[in-house]
A and B are shown apart, each in its own frame.
Chain A
């Protein structure tokens, strides 16, 4: 294949710089020794990272986000794994409709979902509760959990399972000892991607969170609305570091291009 020309490489360089610049500037400003927003030209300092400790609401929000992401992704998988197995293995009436329904949270604007859940949970007497947040997050991360599990279940070698059946494995034992270990990489990646989606969601959660159940993005957003200072950049830098770690693990474990491209969408 032919190489890129120099014009193409200049374009590419500028493109990459622009893509990285906003993320880089947040991380740099977080290390400023000054009391105001500035690039750390007079040496690096951790003062704004230490300041986070004086704001218990950020730390509390972090734990809420972490618990919410971990739990809702797990619950989503409990529903998504059997559904993925059914969609991958059986040709039944309504299969395409079900698959479309299960992926629909990707298509519905999160602002609409936020409003719908706010209305629903308020009338159910669960407004602002952690339980409501979990259920809402299960819905929005479900497509990601389903897609990766589906890709694993579709690509699975059925002959191992048949061998197990011929040796007398049935039902739960068959699933726990044979099927689950075979699709486990897809399931774990589905969990990780679902976790990141839950951990980062602002638009839907901002409608549901109440003081005490505010997630980190919500806390950051409400803080930015009032004023932007180096504190919020150091919090953002921490969030970016957490996501990057998850991202690198995901890439090593499964391949980021496969995760993002969502190969094997509906098992077609």
Chain B
């Protein structure tokens, strides 16, 4: 009796996960493998896709400076977006955490809520705020005396970074917020009673402890920004291309699928390497925090 139950127990988890596993192998792993293979196929304007094994697309990406520039732009935008979200999101999470109960949950809802609102709608909002040289943002900055002449936001990297930072901000706040929950408020009081000023407390007590949260938020923001599509497409227009919008063009306008697949594969591999690499670095550096 008990042996039969043991045997059933050993098989039960596999029986329960088998449908999902088959689904994932059938319609996730196989399509991904097909995409990698597609990047090695040939393509011509008139002959279409030819299922042969050549390195033409990879050679083109490696030698044509257009692609180097495009990938460099993609990662530059992602890095600046990450820095902006960290510089603003981390202090905001800290301030939120010090608020009293009801305000805390209200503002948490206001700041995290946009995460679930359509990216198209949020980016449209920025397009309206930027809107040409006399957009609201420029009018406001000029009336405050912060700038003398309007900054071009539409169709520029500046605009992309601002809009992307807004889209990604909730991820950073959430990540730092999670780190702050593990922090013991008594340490701050102890430092104060020993004579530490507010600057010292933030620099020596708070910063080191929320750093893992900032860094894991940075990884999420970076990888999502580097592969973002909607915001760069709407703010950047048709001229300023990043990896995701270029792949979209190759697939749906030029119809050069193998080249588009190579761009997508490279983006995926680069992101996996960066994310796995920095995760390992963070975990080694902050091993004691994760223990």
| Residues of A bordering B, CB below 8 Å | 1-4, 8-9, 11-12, 15-16, 18-26, 29, 37, 78-80, 82-83, 85-87, 89-90, 92, 95, 98, 101-102, 104-105, 107-112, 115-120, 123, 135-136, 138-139, 142, 196, 199-200, 202-203, 206-207, 217, 220-221, 224-225, 228, 232-233, 236, 239-240, 243-244, 246-247, 251, 256-257, 260-261
| Residues of B bordering A, CB below 8 Å | 9-10, 12-14, 16-17, 19-21, 23-24, 27-28, 30-32, 34-35, 38, 88, 91-92, 95-96, 98-99, 105, 107-129, 131, 136, 163, 166, 169-170, 174, 178, 185, 188, 223, 226-230, 233-234, 243-244, 247-248, 251-252, 257, 260-261, 264-265, 267-268, 271-272, 275
- Distance in Å from the Cβ of A165 to the closest Cβ of chain B? 11
A221 to B234, CA, bound (A): 8
Candidates A19, A95, A233, A260; contact of B169 at CB < 8 Å: A19
When distances are taken between beta carbons in the complex, the residues of chain A under 8 Å from B229 are: 110-111, 202-203, 206
A23–B122 contact, CB under 8 A? yes
Q: Which residue of A lies closest to B109 (CB)?
A: A256
Q: Show 28 residue pairs from A and B whose CB-CB distance is below 8 angstroms, ordered by the A residue.
A: A12-B95, A15-B111, A16-B107, A22-B123, A22-B128, A23-B117, A79-B19, A83-B16, A83-B20, A86-B13, A104-B28, A107-B272, A111-B264, A115-B264, A116-B35, A119-B34, A135-B27, A139-B27, A200-B117, A202-B230, A207-B248, A217-B118, A220-B120, A236-B118, A240-B118, A251-B109, A256-B108, A261-B178
When distances are taken between beta carbons in the complex, the residues of chain B under 8 Å from A12 are: 92, 95-96, 107
Candidates A87, A89, A203, A256; contact of B244 at CB < 8 Å: A203
B121–A26 contact, CB under 8 A? yes
Candidates B35, B114, B126, B185; contact of A1 at CB < 8 Å: B185
- Distance in Å from the Cβ of B289 to the closest Cβ of chain A? 16
A16 to B126, CA, bound (A): 15
B125–A22 contact, CB under 8 A? yes
When distances are taken between beta carbons in the complex, the residues of chain B under 8 Å from A135 are: 27
Candidates B20, B27, B116; contact of A102 at CB < 8 Å: B20
Given A83-B20, A224-B234, A256-B109, A119 contacting B31 (CB threshold 8 A): yes
Candidates A101, A111, A202, A251; contact of B267 at CB < 8 Å: A111
A80 to B14, CA, bound (A): 13
Interface centre among B9, B128, B251 (most CB of A within 10 A): B128
Interface centre among B17, B105, B112, B166 (most CB of A within 10 A): B17
B136–A25 contact, CB under 8 A? yes
Interface centre among B20, B34, B163, B268 (most CB of A within 10 A): B20
B120–A202 contact, CB under 8 A? yes
Candidates B16, B166, B243, B264; contact of A82 at CB < 8 Å: B16
A257 to B122, CA, bound (A): 21
A21–B264 contact, CB under 8 A? no
B124–A228 contact, CB under 8 A? yes
When distances are taken between beta carbons in the complex, the residues of chain B under 8 Å from A116 are: 28, 31-32, 34-35
Given A102-B20, A138-B23, A16 contacting B98 (CB threshold 8 A): no
When distances are taken between beta carbons in the complex, the residues of chain A under 8 Å from B112 are: 256-257, 260
| 6 A-B pairs closest in CB distance | A22-B125, A109-B227, A120-B31, A86-B16, A116-B31, A90-B13
A119–B28 contact, CB under 8 A? no
A123–B34 contact, CB under 8 A? yes
Q: Which residue of B lies closest to A237 (CB)?
A: B121
